[in-house]
């Protein structure tokens, strides 16, 4: 695509396109509409969270060329809310003349863990020791240093799905069979001190902005709690580590020629070393706090990039703790449906409730989140602990 197209300002009142109808797309719609844009969403689900709030909902498969053509004709710029959108769909839309951020080429790389890890290393960023696993022979010849490890499917794994901890070669083989012998990576388990993520945005003029890294806690493979603060010392993260994480994220974005909002998840090891875990080519769960705690949210940045506008200020004005709300929360100890006590939750100072408009609560399904903001991380954590007590959250 020409630089002239990339530099064209798409003014409020025009259409922006979104492939994917989940909660990230829904929050994008809110940000874009607040700024005066109309949003068209392409998603096959008639009841998708984003489709319910969009100005126009194309109900079709992500690779339906007729629908993709209609989306491109309506929208001078198109983005996506999840990494498993067919990369060729993004390429198809770009070939129709729409601005596409991120590009299909960038998304294709991070859709496959084998390609992603090799690319991250090529960008000069360290990852945990690993090998690609495409056959039983690969497991047979795997170095002993990779055990205990984690076997992960190369494609379509998310929120802990398609992953298995394996203590031995035998367990790795059993997991490989359970995954139907699809391509995988075998990654050594590392001595983790904590997990952090860096959410950033990169515009077509190469401008980059970075949000303060978030410290993340997972429960059963799904992000449960994400804490962030404008004061790095409140998180126990040194400035050198923060600079390293931002530089690594920027290096990956540049190497991908990435435009849009990007999240890089990192492992911080016991000795302080930093390893990249994976890349999300979209806004990220650990960046949801930016809606309530920052000058410009990650979804506003997504709008700004695709519209060719200056990037927003990423500065946090409050410390925050984000709590994910899974479908389990809607059922009592007897397994009966019971709406959570939202009035009690919202009586907690600084608590902001975000529900995603999903009709059916199911165990493990992301139904919403609560962000608690305060003048200090200590205070935000104290208030978030009260929310957890009221909702009986297990994390």
Binding site listing: 113, 152, 157-163, 195, 218, 277-278
Q: Answer whether the bond into residue 102 is a cis peptide, omega within 30°.
A: yes
The residues that bridge with 202 in the sheet, in sequence order, are 208, 260
193 class by beta-carbon count within 10 Å (0-12 exposed, 13-18 middle, 19+ buried): middle
The answer to whether 273 and 280 have CB atoms below 8 angstroms apart is no
What would the two tokens of residue 171 be? 């367990």
CA distance 83 to 102: 10
Q: What phi and psi values does residue 230 have, to the nearest 5 degrees?
A: -70, -15
Residues that constitute the known binding site for ATP = 113, 152, 157-163, 195, 218, 277-278
Q: Cβ distance 319 to 228 under 8 Å?
A: yes
- The span from the CA of 281 to the CA of 263, in Å, is 7
Reply yes or no: is the peptide bond before residue 2 cis, omega within 30 of 0. Answer: no
Answer whether 74's CB lies under 8 Å from 57's CB: no
d(C-alpha 116, C-alpha 155), whole Å: 10
Using alpha carbons, select from 55, 126, 118, 111 the residue that is nearest to residue 80: 111
Nearest to 77 by CA among 204, 200, 207: 204
Alpha carbon distances (Å) from 5 to 69, 94, 208, 308: 18, 11, 19, 9
Backbone phi and psi for residue 313, each to the nearest 5 degrees, phi listed first: -75, 125
Main-chain dihedrals φ then ψ at residue 63, nearest 5 degrees: -110, 15
Q: How many CA atoms lie within 13 A of 87 on its CB side?
A: 12
Cβ neighbour number for residue 119 with a 10 Å cutoff: 18
CA separation (Å) from 67 to 75, 89, 263?
A: 12, 10, 29
Tokens of 3: 């630089």
Q: Tell me phi and psi for residue 240, to 5 degrees.
A: -65, -40
């Amino acid at each position: 695509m020409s630089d002239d197209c990339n530099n064209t300002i798409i003014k409020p009142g025009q259409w922006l396109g979104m492939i994917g109808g989940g909660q990230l797309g829904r929050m994008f719609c809110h940000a874009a509409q607040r700024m005066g844009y109309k949003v068209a969403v392409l998603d096959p689900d008639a009841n998708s969270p984003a489709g319910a709030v969009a100005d126009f909902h194309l109900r079709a498969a992500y690779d339906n060329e007729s629908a993709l053509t209609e989306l491109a004709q309506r929208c001078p710029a198109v983005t996506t809310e999840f990494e498993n959108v067919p990369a060729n769909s993004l390429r198809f839309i770009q070939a129709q003349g729409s601005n596409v951020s991120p590009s299909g080429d960038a998304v294709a790389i991070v859709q496959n863990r084998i390609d992603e890890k090799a690319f991250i290393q090529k960008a000069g960023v360290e990852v945990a020791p690993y090998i690609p696993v495409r056959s039983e022979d690969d497991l047979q010849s795997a170095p002993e240093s990779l055990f205990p490890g984690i076997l992960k499917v190369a494609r379509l794994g998310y929120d802990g799905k398609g992953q298995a901890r394996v203590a031995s070669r035998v367990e790795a083989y059993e997991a490989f069979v359970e995954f139907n012998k699809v391509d995988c990576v075998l990654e050594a388990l590392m001595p983790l001190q904590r997990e952090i993520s860096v959410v950033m945005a990169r515009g077509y003029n190469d401008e980059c902005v970075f949000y303060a890294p978030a410290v993340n806690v997972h429960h059963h493979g799904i992000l449960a709690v994400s804490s962030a603060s404008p004061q790095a010392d409140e998180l126990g993260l040194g400035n050198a580590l923060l600079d390293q994480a931002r530089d690594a994220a920027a290096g990956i974005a540049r190497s991908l020629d990435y435009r849009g909002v990007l999240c890089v998840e990192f492992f911080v090891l016991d000795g302080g070393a930093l390893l990249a875990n994976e890349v999300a080519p979209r806004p990220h769960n650990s960046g949801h706090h930016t809606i309530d705690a920052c000058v410009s949210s990650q979804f506003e940045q997504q709008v700004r990039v695709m519209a060719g506008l200056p990037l927003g200020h990423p500065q946090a004005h409050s410390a925050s703790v984000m709590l994910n709300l899974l479908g389990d929360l809607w059922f009592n100890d007897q397994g009966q449906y019971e709406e959570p006590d939202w009035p009690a939750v919202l009586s907690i100072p600084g608590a902001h409730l975000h529900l995603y408009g999903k009709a059916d609560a199911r165990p493990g399904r992301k139904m919403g989140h609560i962000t608690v903001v305060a003048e200090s991380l200590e205070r935000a954590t104290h208030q978030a602990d009260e929310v957890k007590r009221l909702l009986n959250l297990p994390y």
